[in-house]
Structure 1
Amino acid sequence: MKALVTGLGVVAPNGIGGEAFWRSTLEGRSGVRPLAHLAAGEYPARLAGQISDFDVEAHLPGRLLPQTDRSTRLALVAADQALADAGVDPTQRLDYDMGVVTSNATGGFEFTHTEINKLWNLGPRHVSVYESFAWFYAVNTGQISIRHGLRGPGAVLVTEQAGGLDAVGHARRTLRKGATLSVTGGVESSFDPWGWVCHIAAGRLSTETDPARAYRPFTADHRGHVPGEGGAILVLEEATAARARGARLYGEIAGYAATFDPRPGSGRPPGLRRAAELALADAGLNPPDIDVVFADAAGDAALDQQEAEALAGLFGPGGVPVTAPKTLTGRLHAGGGPLDIVAALYTIRDGLIPPTFHVTEVAPQYRLDLVRGPHPRARTVRAALVLARGQGGFNAAIVVRAV
C-alpha cells in the first residue's frame, strides 16, 4: 500500500498557500521579526517567525471565531487549502473512510490564558464555555474533523518538533489499515506573553536582535534558534483510490520511523541516525538513493554536532546535500516537519533545493554539504529525507519519494 500526497495547505511566516511559501523560500523572503506586542526590554528574546496579514474572517465563518485559538484557525485554513488543492469534496465520499491526524505541542495558549485572566480578574461567569476544549492539544484534529465531516480514524500526537512527522507517519498507518484518505500535519502558535515565557524557559532561544543573524545552524557562532508559528496540512490518499479519481500526485510518503534518545550518561548514541536508517529501510532505499536531507537544524552547538555526526555516519562526510529552509520561518514545533515535507515535495517537482539562508560558512567540524544562498541548487531529486527532533529526546524521520 502506498500513501500519496494529493493536497497541500500552508500557513507559514513567509507565505500563505503552498506556492507563495515556495516562492518566498527560494527567494529568501523571511518572516522573522520582533514581536510587536511584547514590551521592549522585558524579555531576553524578542524575534519570532510570524504570520502577518492573516484576515481570519476572510477564511472562516464568524461562528467559529469565538470558540477557536489562533493555532486552530491557522490549522482550519490550512486544512481547507489542502482539501481544495486535492480536489476532494468530503460530502461525496464515505465519511468513515476519511480521518484526521494532527500534531500540536502547545495547545491553544492564547485562548486559555485570556480566559484565565478573565477568571482571576472578573470571576468564573465571564469565562468562555469554549475554554473546555479550545486549549486542548487535540482540538485541531477535532475541529477539522467536524468542519469537513471526517469521521474516520482520528488522532493527535505530542512530540514537540518531531510531532508533525509523527502525525504524517501515523496517518500513513491509518491508510494501511483501511482508510482511503487522511488530513494530516501540524500547526502551532503560542506567542501570547505566557506562551513566550515558556519558549524562553526551554533555554534554546536566540537573544540576537538582527533577524539575519538570530538563527544560523551549523555555524561556528551558534546563537540558538528562533521559534515560529504556522505549519502545513497535507492530504494523504491510498494510491489506488487517488489514481482512480485522477488526483494530482505530489509524491509518496515512502518511509517513516521514530526513535527516542537514551537517557543522558548512558553511553549510548542519540537516536536520530537510527530513525533515519529505519525510515530508509521502511522505504526500501539505501543511503545513496537519497538526493537531499532537510535537516532538523537545532541551532545549538551540541545538537547540531549530533545531527552532523548522524548524517556523516549514514552518508559519509559531505555525502549528500543538506538544507534547512526553516531559517526563514523559525522552528515551528509540530508545524516544522510538515512544512519541510512540503518543501521536499516542491524540490522533487522543480529540481531546486532551497538554500539555508543567513548561513555563509559552515563550521568545519560538521563536515556537511550545506546548501547555502543566495540561490537554490539545481538538482534532479527523486527522494528526500526529512528529519525532526523534539525536546526531551524525540526523533522522527520521513522519506519522501517521487511518483
Structure 2
Amino acid sequence: MKTTSHMVEKEIDDRAVLVSLVTQKQKKNELLAEYSLQELVKLAETAGVLVLETMTQNKETKDSKWFIGKGKVEELRLRLEELGGNTAIFDQELSGAQVRNLEAALDVKIIDRTQLILDIFAQRAKTREGIIQVELAQLSYLLPRLSGQGKNLSRLGGGIGTRGPGESKLETDRRHIRGRIDELKAQLEEVVRHRTLHRERRKKTGVFQVALVGYTNAGKSTLLKQLTQADVYIENQLFATLDPTSRTMELPGGKEIVLTDTVGFIQNLPHDLVASFRATLEEANEADLILHVVDSSTDMRNEQMRVVEEVLEELGAHQKEQLTLFNKIDVCSQEEREMISAEGEFLKISAYNQEDLERLRHVIQEKLMGESREFRIPADKGDIISLMYRIGDVLETEVDGEDMVFKVRVNKDDYVKLAYQLIAYDQQAQQELQDHEGESY
C-alpha cells in the first residue's frame, strides 16, 4: 500500500480516501498508473474534496464483487474510520453491483473516476447548453447502475434533483430517467441546429475558425486571453473552463478570425461525456485550423498528446490541419526545451511572451491565408471584387485601364472558389483551373 497525506485545515463536507487498482496488465506501465492516481487527487481537490490518503492495490485482475478484493476492502474500512473519512473515491469505473457491495461494507459514499469528472462538469457548467450536456451525461451513466446507487443518487446535483430514488421505486425512476434523457436529447438537438446555422452563416461571410484543443490545464484559456484580450476565467485547476468561448482575433494583415477555446481533455474521459459534449467538441471538427496546446512542462506530455489525438479521432477531426503548440516553455530548462518535438509542424511558446504570440499570429495567418496571388478583374465587377475582399486578404490594388489588379493572399480552397468566378476574365485563372486536380496551387 502506498499512502500520501493531503491534509488541509478547513471544513469540507467530503473527506475521502482515494483508491487505485493496478492489475497485471496495467503494471507494465506503472508510471502511467501512478500519474493517473496523482490526477485523481487533483480531480478530487478540484471537486472540493479533502483528500485524506491515497491507497494502491496490486492485483492480477479486478474482483467482480469487491473490485479490490475483500481483504483490501476491510483495510480501507479501517483507514476510513481512523482518518474520519466519509467517502471512498476509486480511480477506475465501478459497476452498479460493486458500488452496492462497497457501500454496504464501508458505510460511506462510493464514487468512481467517471462520477467525479461528471461532478466537476456539473459545478462548472454555466450556459444552457453546458447544463443540458452535463445532465445528459450524468443520467446516461446513472441509468444502467441505478440499482447500485443507494446513497450516491442524492449527490447528483443537476442530475435528477436532490433526492435519492430508493430501491423500491427503481422502475418508476428508470422510466423517469429515460423520459428525461429523451427530453434532454431533443433540447440538445435544437442547440445543435442553432449552432449549425451559426456555422453556416460564418462560412458564408468567409470568417475563418480556429479551435484551441488540448489536455485540461494545458493553458488554452490563457492563450485565448493573451491572443484576443478576452475576459475569460483562468485558474490553475482541472476543467477551469467548461463552456466553449469564442472571441475574434486580428491577424497581422488586419483580417479577423474566430478563435474558440474548447473543453479540456483528460485520461479516461467518460464516453457519455464525449457523446453529450459532441456538439461543443465539434467546434474542432468545423475549424479551419486546430491549435493543439500542450503543457511542455509535464513529463506526461506525450501521453497527454496521445489522449487528445484519440478524442480528436473519435470526433473525426484528426485529419484536420493542426499546429502543435508546446506551451509553458518558459518553465522548462534549456535541456528540456531541446528534447521537445512532435510530428508535423510545431511551435515552442509561452502564452506570456509577446514575441512568441506575434510569431504564432504570423504562422496562423500563413496557414489560413496561404500565398499571395495577383488577379485582374474588370473594375465594374463589384460582386467579384466584394468576394475577393471577403475570402482573401487584399494586400495591394492598382488600376490598369478598365481593369483592377489585386494582390491577394488566399488559401488553396478559397483560391479555387475565387478562380471559378474569375475564369471569364483572368487567363491565369483559366489555365490553373484546367491544371487543378486537387493539388496545391
Question: Under a length normalisation based on structure 2, what TM-score does the superposition of the two structures give?
Answer: 0.24
Choose 1 or 2 for highest CA Rg: 2
Higher helix share: 2
- The structure, 1 or 2, with the larger RCO (C-alpha pairs under 8 Å, 6+ apart) is 1
